Amino acid sequence: MYQTSNILLESVRGTEIVPIDDIFLRERRIFLVGSVTDESCNDLIKKLLYLESTDNTRPVTVFLNSPGGSVWDGLSVYDTIRLMKSPVTAVVTGIAASMGSILLLACEKENRLMLPSSRIMIHDCSWSTRDFGGVKPGVIQEELDMLKKTNERLISIIADRTGHEPGEIAEITKSDAWFNAEEAVAFGLASAVIDEKSFETLIRKETL
């Protein structure tokens, strides 16, 4: 599980121990590190909604490093970002794979950034470790139909957000399709690779 770090701050009240995530939240910067789960997504949504309610005209930056995970939990974050008025920028710091790539695509194209060594992976969704022992054929068919509909939804998102045809995306995502930063920009998954100048702009402080 992701563990936050603490820093010491000097104030009129003396020295305070403050979680560094709280400092970043004040600067409208939040993080998703690790798998896409109900816990990580609920935490991310709460922070997004807090910042939206505070001031929906100022930008929010999400730093993303995730191998993917739960489709439905990830889509809840996707929908939240799409409904927000605050402009949201996502920065891939390591990988944005599987559902991690869908979270990246929630942002407008010009707001999808990547560190030089980061990567993106898109593919079909799957059951993961689903055990069908003792499950009736009708139930299995229902789940297959649901899986197909879910996969069509993800293909639709990727196609719409990258400008490619759904049929092309369906073919590409039959297997794990990995993109380095430059390839991701060329394909339409991201807008730019962060260089020294854009990095300085990115880390410039913004406070509530």
Catalytically active residues are 98, 123
**Token pair recorded at residue 129:** 């470790």
Find all residues with CB under 8 Å of 112, minimum gap 6, and list them. 89, 90, 92, 104, 105, 189, 190, 191
Rg (CA), the chain: 19
> Is 187:178 a contact under the CB 8 Å cutoff?
no
H or E stretch at 89: strand 88-97
Find all residues with CB under 8 Å of 149, minimum gap 6, and list them. none
> Is 35:68 a contact under the CB 8 Å cutoff?
yes
Find all residues with CB under 8 Å of 130, minimum gap 6, and list them. 143
How far is CA 183 from its chain centroid? Answer: 18
**Token pair recorded at residue 135:** 């499950």
**Token pair recorded at residue 164:** 């490619």
